[in-house]
Amino acid sequence: METTLSLASGTFVLLVRLFFILAAQVPPAGLRKENGKLKINYTFANGETSDVEVREEIGNLILDSRREESNQDRKERYHCYSLDAAEYEGADYADGSTPETELFRQLENQRIKEAFGQLSEV
By CB atoms closer than 10 A (0-12, 13-18, 19+), residue 92 is: exposed
Strand ranges, E, within the chain: 31-34, 37-43, 49-54
3-class SS at 82?
coil
Dihedral over alpha carbons 83, 20, 42, 56 (to 10 degrees):
140
Contact assessment for residue 6 and residue 12, using Cβ atoms and an 8 Å cutoff: yes
At 122, is the pLDDT very low, low, confident or very high (cuts 50, 70, 90)? confident
Tell me the whole-structure pTM to 2 decimals. 0.41
When pLDDT is cut at 50, 70 and 90, the band that residue 13 belongs to is: low
Mean pLDDT along residues 98-102: 91
* Domain residue extents for the chain: 29-81
pLDDT band at 109 (very low <50, low <70, confident <90, very high): very high
Does residue 88 surpass a pLDDT of 80?
A: no
Mean per-residue pLDDT over the chain, rounded: 76
* Degrees to nearest 5, angle at CA 101 with 99 and 104: 110
Q: Is the pLDDT of residue 4 over 70?
A: no
